[in-house]
Amino acid sequence: MRIAVPDLVSNSYFPAVAATELGFFKAHGIDVELEMVFPVGRAMAALRDGEIDFVAGPAHATLSAFPGWRGAKLLATLSQHTFWLLVLRSDLRVRPGDVAAVKGLRIGAAPGPDGALRRLLAEAGVDPARDDVTLAPVPGSGEAGVSFGVHAARVLEEGTIDGFWANAMGAEVAVRSGIGSVTLDPRQGLGPPAARDFTFAALVTTDRLVEEAPHIGEGVVRGIVEAQRALRADPSRAVAVGRRLFPPDEAAIIEDLIRRDAPYYTAEISASSVTNLNAFSRDVGLLTGDVAYDQVVATRFAHLWTEL
């Protein structure tokens, strides 16, 4: 079995990484390999085409390859709520929560995650075209093996961009170096309230796997739940994983980030989160109409989210 991750050096998708590296999947008889596939739309296309078996990524991105939620299901939440942050150059001295501060700036955002930022700006009355906000991929971020958030922090330091929208790992690298400061963090209430529930980090698979190999689906969900529980109980378990997979500087940070994110590591996919997810997906043009909860979520595994 193969799991694609659009950004391997990420705290938000980390439960899937930890479940692989700490043996939680293997304990249920499932051999899993991690594969970094960027951007997330490419990962979802690979899932659709049968090249991989699961994607750990933002839930709404599923729709880029599975229109109307046809053919794919969310198995579990990896990390609750919208998990990206906006970091701006610290010398701009922007007040946290000030969305209008992006006017006239060059912001790096990966394809897929950029939809959440664009919608957040719209919620706050900021029009990128009118307000001269450049939203584009960070130069060099598409190269093989590049972690978007960490790379964005480096490019910010070079002065090529004025800010970036990425996971907390990239944000933390920029903040610790002194080059950046967090301006928006929807999950923590910095930004329009609606932005907190645009999307969430999820584990996605195909309808085919759910129907034809439910024992694999069950084992994978159990592995995710067990990994989340282990990380909540002891965030230091992330250290060994970081040392194996991350660059040294990021490996030294991961325990702090996991400790901070631990309250969000629960697998439940609530009805309200799917309602908000579908509303956001309609707003950004990924979905038309409404879709029932059980068409989005693999409900046959729902009892596992809280069973352990």
Give the end of a domain, one of 192, 216, 250. 192
The answer on 179 and 108 residing in a single domain is yes
Contact 67, 61 (CB under 8 A): no
- 204 and 303 in a common domain: yes
DSSP the chain: -EEEES-SS-SSSHHHHHHHHTTTTGGGT---EEEE-SSHHHHHHHHHTTS-SEEEEEGGGGGGTSGGGTTEEEEEEEE-S---EEEEEGGG-PPTT-GGGGTT-EEEE-TTHHHHHHHHHHHTT--TTTTT-EEEPPTTTTSTT--HHHHHHHHHHHTS-SEEEE-HHHHHHHHHHTSEEEEEBGGGTBS-GGGGGS--EEEEEEHHHHHH-HHHHHHHHHHHHHHHHHHHH-GGGHHHHHHHHS-HHHHTTHHHHHHHHGGG------HHHHHHHHHHHHHTTS--S---HHHHB-GGGTTHHHH-
CB neighbour burial string for 223-237, b if at least 16 within 10 angstroms, e if fewer: bbbbbbbbbbeebeb
**Are residue 168 and residue 116 in the same domain, yes or no?**
yes
Q: Which domain holds residue 229?
A: 2-80+200-307
What pLDDT was estimated at residue 308?
60
Residues 76 and 204 reside in one and the same domain: yes
User: 241 and 303, same structural domain?
Assistant: yes
Residues 89 and 60 in one domain: no
Question: How many domains does one find in the chain?
Answer: 2
Q: What is the pTM of this model?
A: 0.94
Residues 204 and 64 in one domain: yes
Q: Which of 148, 174, 192 is the last residue of a domain?
A: 192
180 shares its domain with 226: no
Q: Does one domain contain both 95 and 187?
A: yes
Query: How many Cβ atoms from other residues are within 10 Å of residue 281's Cβ?
Result: 24
CATH number of the domain at 155, please. 3.40.190.10
**With a cut of 70, which residues of the chain have pLDDT below it?**
144-146, 308
Please report the pLDDT score of residue 66 as a whole number: 98
For residues 125 and 138, state if they share a domain.
yes
Cis ω before 263 (30° cut-off from 0):
no
- The residue from 192, 217, 246 where one domain ends is 192
pLDDT value, residue 51: 97
207 with 283, same domain: the answer is yes
Q: Both 66 and 212 in a single domain?
A: yes
